[in-house]
Structure 1
Amino acid sequence: MANNKSFNIRSILEKEKLRGKNFLDWQRNLQIVLMQEEKEYVLEEAMPEAVGEGVTQAALNRWIDANKDVKCLMLATMSADLKKTFINSDAFTIISDLKKMFQDLARVERFETHRQILETKLKKGEPVSPRALKMIGLIENMSRLDQQFSQEMAVDTILHSLHNRYDQFKLNYSMNSLDKTLTELHGMLKTAEKTLKSDKQDVLMVRGGKFKKSGKKRNAKKGGNKAIPTKQTGAKSEKRKVSQPTSESECFYCKKKGHWKRDCLKLKEDQKNGTFVPSSGTKKK
């Protein structure tokens, strides 16, 4: 039964062999296996060279057997090139050299992952779910790279990446001292996004200090409701034309030709002197 249990645990190492960049994952899985088998001490300190102070023959024999077992497990889950490199080394030497070889790569990956976390920002109009999932993945990757984010720090980082339309959501979250997992936070953000979209349709938009008018009102302003002048009929609709006298036109006042009474100089003179006496029979022309 114990052997079957050991075999099942060791299978996590067989799924993906050590190739270099996956060193931290491989090392973590190895530690889990050795913890279950109570052999993790083989990787924590060098094996005693001989029986001596505090080391009995039984303890040394147990160490030798454990070292052989762990070494074979490590070599079996490595790429072919790494096997050739460490075939003659003990387990403690192998893990020490692997750390020197690959920890710099892990540091570079941590730096790049952290940079992406800091630069990831949700833009206005962009759906929140894909961006939140990306942030969660980056934060989980930092944990894999031995740079654990606390739950509070992870939540604060995601909230900080949101644009200012989520300010009320962030304030409510902080004031209510909510303690949610990243998955729960993701669900809350999707709900908040729906609320923001609904509010956007109901709130009046203001541009340049003036309310944005609807399309119908804009069209009316351009001339849709202009008053159409009514057409007048008869003499009032047109300016009356004034006829001019001819050489044969006769003045009804002085009886001379070439002008009409309204233009008669004698009439005007008589009116001025007070000698003009209107006649009821005189035509006004």
Structure 2
Amino acid sequence: MSSENGVNTPAPNPSPNSSFSLLSVLGRERLTGPNYMDWMRNLRFTLRYENKEYVLDEQIPIIDNDSTQEEIEAHQKHYDDANKVSCIMAASMSPELQKTFENTWAYEMNQQLKEMFQAKASKERLDVVKSLMACKPKPGASICAFVLEMKGYFDRLESLNMAFDAELSINIILSGLPADYNQFVLSYQINRKETLIMELHSLLQTAEQGIKKSDVPSTSTAPVLNVGHNAKKRKTSHSNWKGKATQGKSDRGFKRKVDSEIAPTGDPKEAVCFYCNTKGALEA
């Protein structure tokens, strides 16, 4: 933390009864076994605030007659902190587990708890990874909901000591986007800048609005439909025409076949009627 003038301010010192406050926090959820991951995460949060988390991961240093004053003081501080944390850890367990760890230091207690409940943590990580890989955008749902769901899986895996780096997390999310976002993915890869998941969420939110606008259908009637309708009418009218063309060339120069065998003549008396096939009918 830093003040407005840029000078670092010291962290607040724990109150004299901080151990009792820590015990009250951890006492809200006792360790029973199946809740190991949640209990351990809560324990680390509270110990980190009290500057005592290190006793879970480091053994008490050994001193001898040749140890320096600084080493002796470090040993004494570690001993005192480990003693308090060991008591607090045991006090926040179920009675059955308290009997197991009644005389165990914090570091050894942490190692044994890992061995006892590591199988459960591994199974939980596997289940979360399966859900992560199977996560796809739901039809009709906002793409932002998909990003937030993926972020939830990444956060859960991090709490299970399985963290993904930012670039890998982003790439997994991009690979799960539907085809409508191919152009967005291409542009993102071309720009190639470091982005957090929530920043990607904001970018996709803007892209989603643009895609929705482009998907709005037009209300105007396509001209091709009118053309096709008129063409169908013209085709129908030609199909009903049963007349026969006369032999010879048309105005366009094409020859036409004639089924009639009546010879043409210029004398009305010799002309044969097309309808009654009688000579001289046109004269009458």
Output the TM-score relative to the length of structure 1. Answer: 0.62
1:87–1:10 CA distance, 2 compared to 1 (3 A): closer
| Alpha-carbon shift at residue 139 of structure 1 (Å) | 0.8
User: Once the 2 structures are TM-superposed, how far is the Cα of residue 99 of structure 1 from its aligned partner?
Assistant: 0.5
1:199 aligned to which of 202, 211, 214: 214
> 1:82 & 1:123 partners in 2: Cα distance?
44
**Aligned-partner residue type, residue 13 of structure 1:** L
Q: Confirm whether residue 155 of structure 1 aligns to residue 170 of structure 2.
A: yes
SS in 1 for 2:16: helix
Structure 1 pair 160/263, CA: closer, same or farther in 2 (3 Å)?
closer
Residue of 179, 190, 201 corresponding to 1:186 = 201
Which has a greater percent of helix?
Answer: 1
1:2 aligned counterpart, secondary structure:
coil
| Residues 16 and 40 of structure 1: CA distance in aligned 2, closer, same or farther (over 3 Å) | same
Provide the C-alpha distance between the structure 2 equivalents of 1:10 and 1:181, rounded to a whole number of angstroms.
36
The answer to whether residue 187 in structure 2 is matched with residue 172 in structure 1 is: yes
Separation of aligned partners in 1, 2:277 and 2:84: 139
* One-letter identity of the residue aligned with 2:16: N
Correspondence 1:101 to 2:116? yes
Identity %: 33
In the alignment, structure 1 segments of 5+ residues that lack a partner are: 205-212, 230-261, 272-282
In the other structure, the counterpart of 1:132 is: 147
How far off its partner does 1:81 sit?
3.6
1:24 equivalent among 33, 37, 58 = 37
Could you tell me how far 1:218 is from its partner in structure 2?
A: 5.6
> Which deviations, in whole Å up to 9, do the C-alpha atoms of 1:151-191 show, x marking residues without a partner?
11111111111011101111111212233321221122122
3-state SS of 1:201 partner? coil
Q: In the superposition, relative to structure 1, how do residues 220 and 70 fare at CA in structure 2: closer, same or farther (>3 Å)?
A: same
Distance 2:51 2:65 in 1: 23
CA distance 1:71–1:167, change in 2 (3 Å) = same
| Aligned amino acid, residue 181 of structure 1 | L
Task: State the alpha-carbon separation in 2 of the partners of residues 136 and 59 from structure 1.
Answer: 41
Code of the residue aligned with 2:184 in structure 1: it is: F
CA contact (8 A) 2:19 2:84 kept: no
Partner of 1:114: 129
Question: Which residue matches 2:9?
Answer: none
Instruction: Please say if residues 157 and 163 of structure 2, whose CA atoms lie closer than 8 Å, have aligned partners that are also in contact.
Output: yes
Distance 1:134 1:197 in 2: 21
Cα distance, 1:117–1:221 mapped onto 2, change above 3 Å:
same
Instruction: Judge which range, 162-171 or 89-98, deviates more.
Output: 89-98
- 1:61, distance to aligned residue in structure 2 (A): 6.2
Pick from 72, 92, 99: which aligns with 2:87?
72
Partners of 1:61 and 1:138 in 2: how far apart?
42
One-letter code of the match for 2:147? A
Three-state SS of the structure 1 residue aligned to 2:137 is coil
Superposed structure 1 runs of 4+ greater than 6 Å apart = 48-53, 55-61
Partner of 2:16: 3
Give the letter aligned to residue 101 of structure 1. M
Q: Secondary structure at the match of 2:89?
A: helix
Q: State how far apart, in whole Å, the 1-side matches of 2:30 and 2:225 are.
A: 69
Q: For residues 123 and 201 of structure 1, what CA distance do their matches in structure 2 show?
A: 20
Q: Which residue of 2 aligns with 1:13?
A: 26
